[in-house]
Structure 1
Amino acid sequence: MLYSVKENSMANKFDGYKRLDFNESKKFEYNLKAIENAASFFNIHFLNKEVIYKTRNEEVSIVFNRTNFMHLCGVKYEDGAAEFFNLALRKQINFDKVFIKKDGTTFQKLSALNSIEFLLQKDISLSEGTIYLNLSFDKALRTKKEIIALTLIDADNVFIPQSLLNLKFMKNFPRGNNVVGIQSIHLQDKSVITYFPKDEIENK
């Protein structure tokens, strides 16, 4: 009886997801380096930091948590979201515990991870929230070219990453306003990194 309850709980937790089959395991392995590199990118540039994006008219602050990363990859992990991030950093993800989306979008997201560094470069814009292909979000960062978008959810005046979209597979995603400055502030020691431009963005 207890086993049945546990089985049902697992089924509900991973509703809409499935385990990797042989061919999908090969595809996941092909994308594994991108997952590990993206985890390292978020660990270095976003974790324990407030990252500020400034346009001519507004600025938004993004705070990244370990649990956000799994959702950006379009997967679920048997041991939980935070552990998936930790294992990606240690290069120890267990394929047997990985679940991918049944709708086939997981590998679209994983292929977008190779372009994640664009989030800290000049050619990026900030768009207002909308409902796009059944995805509701409050803001989004996107590359000016049709490469990637990071949707964001408002959580008490800071924004948290919600989903990573591969714009090569999407049409008419909101354009938004050009980002003119990117800066991070460490949440503990308050150290500041200005990504660009050096002379226009002020300390918050």
Structure 2
Amino acid sequence: MTPSEINSFKSYLPSIQEAFLLTQKHFIGKIKTYVYVVNNRKICSLPITFQNKHFMHLCGVKYATGARGFIKDLKRKQLNFPNCQIKCNTFDLFLVIGLVNRSLAELPLPIDS
């Protein structure tokens, strides 16, 4: 990563950490059911289980020590930026993470209800 990319990444860290905490609280280790309709007739459902390792992918980051290392360092607030490789849409994903954080914070009811 370039010094400019590192500075940009650092500016998003609080949002990323907040998103991880929300993800951990509401999704990781829980089964969420995606309900959808096929051909306007048949209602189907798909249970989805989220794991810690999926969070790194959602951030658009590749970390030299893998998803476990990324989560471990993120929790300790000690990301090793030379170990980070960003993808072409990483900073767009960071913007979305911030929007999701704000949306979840404004929900009147708990997500798990």
**Normalised-by-shorter TM-score class:** 0.7 to 0.9
Using the size of structure 1 for normalisation, the TM-score is 0.45
Residue in structure 2 matched with residue 105 of structure 1 by the alignment: 89
- Helix, strand or coil for the counterpart of 1:113? helix
> Alpha-carbon deviation of 1:28?
0.4
Residue identity in the other structure for 1:88: L
Name which of 20, 23, 39 aligns with 2:20. Answer: 39
> Alpha-carbon deviation of 1:67?
1.3
Structure 1 CA distance for aligned equivalents of residues 22 and 75 of structure 2: 10
In the alignment, does 2:5 pair up with 1:24? Answer: yes
Residue in structure 2 matched with residue 81 of structure 1 by the alignment: 67
Residue identity in the other structure for 1:64: F
> Alpha-carbon deviation of 1:58?
3.2
What are the Cα deviations for residues 171-193 of structure 1, in whole angstroms up to 9, with x where unaligned? Answer: xxxxxxxxxxx97xxxxxxxxx4
Residue identity in the other structure for 1:46: F
Residue identity in the other structure for 1:115: L
> Alpha-carbon deviation of 1:55?
5.3
Q: Determine what percentage of the aligned residue pairs are the same residue.
A: 32
* Larger proportion of helix: 2
Using the size of structure 2 for normalisation, the TM-score is 0.77
Give the number of aligned pairs: 105
Q: Which runs of 5+ in 1 are unaligned?
A: 1-19, 123-181, 184-192, 195-204
* Greater Cα radius of gyration, structure 1 or 2: 1
Q: Which runs of 5+ in 2 are unaligned?
A: 38-42
CA RMSD of aligned residues (A): 2.7
Structure 1 CA distance for aligned equivalents of residues 82 and 3 of structure 2: 11
- Larger RCO: 1 or 2 (CA < 8 Å, sep 6+): 2
In the alignment, does 2:82 pair up with 1:96? Answer: yes
Q: Which runs of 4+ in 1 moved over 3 A?
A: 53-56
> Alpha-carbon deviation of 1:89?
2.4
